[in-house]
Amino acid sequence: MIELGQLYILIRYILIDFAISMIVTLSLNFELGIAAIAQFGRVLAVEIGAYVAGGLTGRILAYTIPELRQYSGAEYSNHLINFKLVDTINRTLLEHNALLSIGILILTLALAAIIGGIVGWLTSYPAIRLKEAYLGITLLAFGDVVMLIAQNYDPIVGATQGVSVPDPFRWARPYSFEAALIIALILAGLTFIFFEMLVRSPFGRALKAMRDDEVAAKVYGKDIVKLRTYALIIGSAFAAMAGAYYTMYIGSCKAFTYTRLTWTFWPWAFMMLGGTGNNVGIAVGVLIFVIVRTIIINYKTYLEPFVPFDPIWLEPMFVGVVIILLSVFRPQGLIPEKPAFTIKKRRIRSIIEIMRKQAS
Amino acid sequence: MQPKGTVGRSEYILETKNLVKRFGGLVAVNNVNIKIKRQTVTMLMGPNGAGKTTFVNTCTGVLKPDGGRVIFDGKDITGWPPHKIYASGFVRTFQIPEPFKSLTVLENILVAMKNPGESPLRAPWKRSWVKHEEENLKRAFSILMRVGLDKYWDWEAYKLGGGQLKMLEVARALAVGAKLIALDEPIGGVDPVYANDILSYVRRLKDDLKLTFLLIEHRIDIALPFADYVYVMDRGKVIAEGTPDEVANNPKVIEIYIG
Amino acid sequence: MIEPSLVYKALAYSSNIALMAAGITMIYMSTETFNFAHASKVSWGMYFVYTFYNFFGGHPYIYVPVAAILTGLIGVAMYLTFNRYLLKRGAGMITLMMSTLGADLILLALLNILADYLSRVHKLYSRQIRMEIYDFTVAGIPFSTLIALIIVVTLTASIHLFLTKTKFGIAMRATIENPNLAGILGINPELVYLTSWFIGGALAGLGGALLVFIMAGYPVIGQYLIVTMFAGSIVGGLYSIYGSLLGGFLVGLSEYLGIWWLSTLFGGKMLAYRQVIPLVAMVVALLFFPQGLGGIKWGKVAKVVRGERS
């Protein structure tokens, strides 16, 4: 029997994991499902966002405190002093100031979005020149290179030791987790609404036209280079925000957390399960995976005595099997893409009824 | 002052000067000089493989020319990318329909029309583009009614049959509001009565909206009466031109069609 | 001065990368599938040698061919269980690639389960396997280097003979170049795809099995090496087995010697950036020489070098 308290904790984990994975997967879906860009380097923008939260926000805050100012440069991420710096920041600035904390949170997300957007813009260089798998592997390489550098070069986010991240949820103690969860859900909801609005706009329609038939899209006035670039900028900006938020919520930033497996391939699997091109499907896909993942992680101790291995490996096995089954039997996912109209269908009907009456 | 590349307004909307397109050793378009008068239906005729589609592809930027110039509406558009050529008022259809498969029939038309909501900055603010979109919608639907696709407006394009896709191609081009529309075999495989209907609609549009059409056909029978002026291509070259009557009685033309 | 032992290791490493890259190209050429599962197959190659040696004894080298055959069979299993259906459906490159990623996750999970099993039940130190001590020297040259080089050379020669002299080899080339033609010629393209999945898989396992004698192995080593393998295959131009052998060899060599050189210049800290070299090689190749080594018009280059105008 599960206790109520345990269940609550479990649901909390599921929901926050859901919210963050949702933002990443929605951004991936926008680039791949709508704009047909082979984004095999989702982790790139996510880790950039994480490094903004881990390496930039703290430095800015350290700079505002006179006695910490001297540490706001490269030595900020030295692991011997970093935890003290961040602790001071947390205690003196953030702990008792909810407004400032929220402000810092928003500032970090905004910075992550801007820098993530710039990274997205940079990746448009290969995205315009390469196709399909070739582009995918190039973007994958970009993500790996950046992680490799961050993992080894101290002044970014403290290399293998990592850095602590200023805690923008501390003011809500003892409900910090709840605060982080609620804000994450709000962000995920806003992201969902935003991408739905884009998909149901002439812009989204142009992207889908480009996806369906590039030559025809060009002939009908679509600037492919611009459309691809916009899609990459928007997608990367949101992925970076998700990375930044995740980092702030777990309170530390270690470069090796941001692997291509967790932040590129997992979102791909979520998207494939839910339905590529369909935001509602994405939500369903993410939810299913997150529930299964949390259950495996939380109940592996029960299974442990019965098997001669760590049950955690059942998770990649499950994801792998799902990916193969989906690609063979249901490439469109659980909830396939449906036509998304720019104007409400009812409104279209009423307009065309009037036109038909006039004609007859 | 004239903008760069401007040659000046003439009575011709499209003029090609010694246009050349090669594929390896094959010269698909060989020094083609074609002039299209404003507000006419000009026909480009010729057997399969004559280079008609390659000519259109080269004019509309889908292919880069290997030589010669394309002057459209007083501007030298040689080698421009397709979307810029579209923006300057020149669109074309595809011989083998290239619909946006996952979009509905209605959206296939709407996507071809200009809308400020295509800018990513304005896209999230529906109010900034919805009026425009509703105007587009009315125009698009009247065209759909005209070509007989209105019943299928909310079908995804991949569900349509071959003839319907042909009509979708034509409808999409008509919706743009372009000055010159190149129709690449718009009535191929369409039944003759319907084909006549479509072509007379094209002629009416030409007069009502002051449009110019370039009509590409390989058959000599149905389309010829609808043209004001005809060019005949064979193996990459223009071999004859003139009014429909002149061309129909030109021995060279008869020869390629028999031979 | 560079130590001879380092040169030997570099040669062995590059040869093994060349084998793996050739495997990727083999599968890509015939089925247009970028095979992510190559990563785990390499790791499996290592663990096959390790496991069999621990269970059955003898000399570990005798299990190298066994490992190659078994990973080849994994390739066959991948073809038969899903790749075949996707090819029939005409699935796009992205779907093909994604499905192999699914297979990679399964193989990775299974390998970790094996490693857990070996350590928990058989008390083996299986999370990091070290078999360098079983390597020996022949005429002063480490066997790991010798055998890797011999295999690469023999492979180059035998692939050439196989593709140009044997009936099936010629059929295979025809199928790869034009699947419709193969049908007309009475060749079963499925057999060709099956064979390339077998050979491709076997090359991955072979590379892994030989690699275990020069470096430590762990379950995710393939996921680290896959970038270098892809780089080799892409630098080789993706459409030529010889290109991939050469590309893999060059990428491996520049990675090994390049990082050695950088670390003598800037200190040992540079060693951590080792992977950057193949990544950069790959991106540069993709963006600037998309046809790879085979696609560069060497005649033209020679003319430019000689100062003539093309």
The answer as to whether B94 is a domain residue is no
Interface residue A256 vs chain C (CB under 8 A): no
- Given B122, B137, B169, which residue is the final one in a domain? B169
How far is residue A98's CA from residue A106's CA, in Å, rounded to a whole number? 12
Quick one: pLDDT at residue C12?
A: 93
Same domain, B118 and B152: yes
Same domain, B206 and B255: yes
In terms of CA atoms, which chain A residue is nearest residue C268?
A: A152
Domain that holds residue B103: 99-169
Is residue A115 within 8 Å of A236, Cβ to Cβ? no
Same domain, B58 and B136: no
Whether residues A130 and C286 touch (CB distance < 8 A) is answered with yes
pLDDT, one tens digit per residue, over B99-150 is 999 999 999 999 999 999 999 999 999 999 999 999 999 999 999 988 889 9
How far is residue C13's CA from residue A178's CA, in Å, rounded to a whole number? 51
Is residue A263 within 8 Å of A142, Cβ to Cβ? no
Half-sphere exposure of A167 (CA within 13 A, CB side): 24
Whether residues A308 and C116 touch (CB distance < 8 A) is answered with yes
Interface residue B148 vs chain A (CB under 8 A): no
Same domain, B75 and B189: yes
In this prediction, what percent of chain B has a pLDDT beyond 70? 96
pLDDT, one tens digit per residue, over B177-235 is 889 999 998 887 778 888 888 888 888 888 888 889 999 988 777 888 889 999 999 98
Interface residue B154 vs chain A (CB under 8 A): yes
The answer as to whether B124 is a domain residue is yes
The answer as to whether B119 is a domain residue is yes
**Residue C161 CB contacts under 8 Å (≥ 6 apart), including other chains:** C169
Whether residues B130 and A230 touch (CB distance < 8 A) is answered with no
Whether residues A220 and B150 touch (CB distance < 8 A) is answered with no
Quick one: pLDDT at residue C164?
A: 81
Interface residue C284 vs chain A (CB under 8 A): no
- At residue B1, does pLDDT exceed 50? no
Place of tokens 């010829």: B224
Quick one: pLDDT at residue A107?
A: 96
Mean pLDDT of B157-175: 88
Alpha helices in C32-79 (DSSP H): 38-56, 64-78
- At residue B5, does pLDDT exceed 80? no
Question: pTM for the full model?
Answer: 0.90
Amino acid at B80: W
Same domain, B163 and B197: no
Quick one: pLDDT at residue A301?
A: 82
Number of domains forming the structure of chain B: 2
Whether residues A277 and B102 touch (CB distance < 8 A) is answered with yes
Same domain, B57 and B82: yes
| Eight-state DSSP code of residue B224 | G
DSSP B1-64: -PPTTB----SEEEEEEEEEEEETTEEEEEEE--EEETT-EEEEE--TTSSHHHHHHHHTTSS-
Quick one: pLDDT at residue B110?
A: 95
Task: Print pLDDT tens along chain C (310 aa).
Answer: 678 888 999 999 999 999 999 999 989 988 889 999 999 999 999 999 999 999 998 899 999 999 999 999 999 999 999 999 999 998 888 889 999 999 999 999 999 999 999 998 888 888 888 888 888 888 888 898 999 999 999 988 888 788 788 887 887 777 777 767 666 667 778 888 998 999 999 999 999 999 999 999 999 999 989 989 999 998 888 777 888 899 999 999 999 888 888 888 888 788 888 888 998 888 888 888 766 665 555 555 555 556 554 3
- At residue A2, does pLDDT exceed 80? no
The answer as to whether B145 is a domain residue is yes
Quick one: pLDDT at residue C303?
A: 59
How far is residue A46's CA from residue A26's CA, in Å, rounded to a whole number? 13
Residues within 8 A of A (CB atoms), B 42-71 only: 60-62
Amino acid at A193: I
Q: Residue A268 is nearest to which of C98, C109, C272, comparing CB atoms?
A: C98
The answer as to whether B224 is a domain residue is yes
Quick check: helix, strand or coil at residue B230? Answer: strand
- At residue A322, does pLDDT exceed 70? yes
Neighbours of C276 (CB within 10 A): 21
- Given B169, B195, B214, which residue is the final one in a domain? B169
Neighbours of A25 (CB within 10 A): 29
Same domain, B76 and B116: no
Quick one: pLDDT at residue B206?
A: 87
pLDDT, one tens digit per residue, over B18-34 is 999 998 888 899 999 99
Same domain, B120 and B68: no
Mean pLDDT of A12-27: 96
- At residue B4, does pLDDT exceed 60? no
The answer as to whether B12 is a domain residue is yes
Same domain, B194 and B77: yes
The answer as to whether B6 is a domain residue is yes
The answer as to whether B174 is a domain residue is no
Query: How many helices and strands, by DSSP H and E, does chain B display?
Result: 8, 11
**Residue C305 CB contacts under 8 Å (≥ 6 apart), including other chains:** none
- Given B112, B137, B169, which residue is the final one in a domain? B169
Same domain, B45 and B119: no
Q: Residue A212 is nearest to which of B83, B100, B110, comparing CB atoms?
A: B100
CATH number for B12: 3.40.50.300
At B256, the pLDDT band (50, 70, 90 cuts) reads confident
Same domain, B204 and B238: yes
Same domain, B19 and B77: yes
Is residue B140 within 8 Å of B113, Cβ to Cβ? yes
CA dihedral C252, C257, C258, C259 (to 10 degrees): 100
Quick one: pLDDT at residue C297?
A: 57
pLDDT, one tens digit per residue, over A251-301 is 999 888 899 889 999 999 999 999 999 999 999 999 999 999 888 888 888
Encoded tokens for B237? 């070259």
Neighbours of C66 (CB within 10 A): 16
Packing angle of the helix pair C189-211, C143-165 (nearest 10 deg): 170
Mean pLDDT of A177-187: 95
